[in-house]
Amino acid sequence: GNSVTQMEGPVTLSEEAFLTINCTYTATGYPSLFWYVQYPGEGLQLLLKATKADDKGSNKGFEATYRKETTSFHLEKGSVQVSDSAVYFCALTTNNDMRFGAGTRLTVKP
């Protein structure tokens, strides 16, 4: 079945550091891939998405490229801020439901 595996956290970085959160997937067919962010006490917000191979999703300085050959969708940001502290979820969908990774908690320190 479809599944998503993402890097375990927590991840702690200093402000302005480079961020990578790894995500790999297993899916039948051609999934759409997503990154969601969850701030404390809130629901998930869509951060970015890519719907086909080699697409790059980007938003708020974050980006991820849909790599079919490595079945990956790693999240990157060149310079993180304290306000980026949150839990990040990688997800995929092929049909009616969405499969999420376990989430990676990011803490950015000043």
Partner 1 sequence: NAGVMQNPRHLVRRRGQEARLRCSPMKGHSHVYWYRQLPEEGLKFMVYLQKENIIDESGMPKERFSAEFPKEGPSILRIQQVVRGDSAAYFCASSPRGSPDTQYFGPGTRLTVL
Kindly list the residues in this chain that would bind partner 1 in the complex (CB under 8 A).
32, 36, 42-46, 49, 51, 89, 93, 95-103
**In the structure, how many helices (H) and strands (E) does the chain have?**
0, 12
The minimum distance between CB 15 and partner 1, in angstroms, equals: 25
* Closer to partner 1 by Cβ: residue 32 or 65: 32
Looking at beta carbons only, is 32 or 107 nearer to partner 1? 32
Query: Is the Cβ of residue 51 or residue 59 nearer to partner 1 in the bound state?
Result: 51
CB of 6 to partner 1, least distance (A): 8
Long-range Cβ contacts of 83-86 (<8 Å, 24+ apart): 83/108, 84/19, 84/108, 86/37, 86/38, 86/39, 86/40
> Distance of alpha carbon 17 from its chain centroid, rounded?
17
